[in-house]
Amino acid sequence: MADTRRQLRSGTVVLGGMGLLAAALTACSSDPDKRCVDRDSYNLTKGYKVVADKNCNSTKVSVNGSWYYGGKKKSGWADGGSFTRPSKGSSGSSGGSHSGVHRGGFGSGKGSSGG
C-alpha cells in the first residue's frame, strides 16, 4: 500500500513539474518570431533576404531593413510571414492578417438555412 502511494506522489510531482515547464516555455515564447530582412530583395520563389539585425536597429545602413514576423527561414531567405507585428494574443507562428479570424461552421448559430 505504501509503495502505491509513493508511486502516485512521484507521478504527481512529475506531472506538476511538466505543467510548470510548459507554463514557463509559453511565457518565454510570447515574443513573436522575428528576423531582419531587406524589403527591396523580394524574390517570388524565395521571399525576402535575411540580413543582420543591425540593419533594422539603425538608420545609418545601406539596406532597407525591416522586421519580418513569422514565416519560415530557409537558406538565408524568409517567406510566409508579415511585416506587421502580431498582437500578444495571437500565436505569431503563421503571421498574416487572418490570424484572429473565426468563421462560423456547423452549430455556429449564424447564417441561413439551405432550404
Residues 50-100 pLDDT 10s: 999 999 998 888 889 999 999 999 999 999 999 999 887 655 444 444 444
Give me the phi and psi of 24, to 5 degrees please.
-65, -45
Does this model's pTM top 0.85? My answer is no
Question: Is-contact 36 53, C-beta < 8 A?
Answer: yes
**Cα–Cα–Cα angle for 9, 27, 58, nearest 5°?**
155
Question: Is-contact 102 115, C-beta < 8 A?
Answer: no
Number of residues assigned to the chain: 115
Check residue 97 and give its pLDDT: 44
Question: Is-contact 82 69, C-beta < 8 A?
Answer: yes
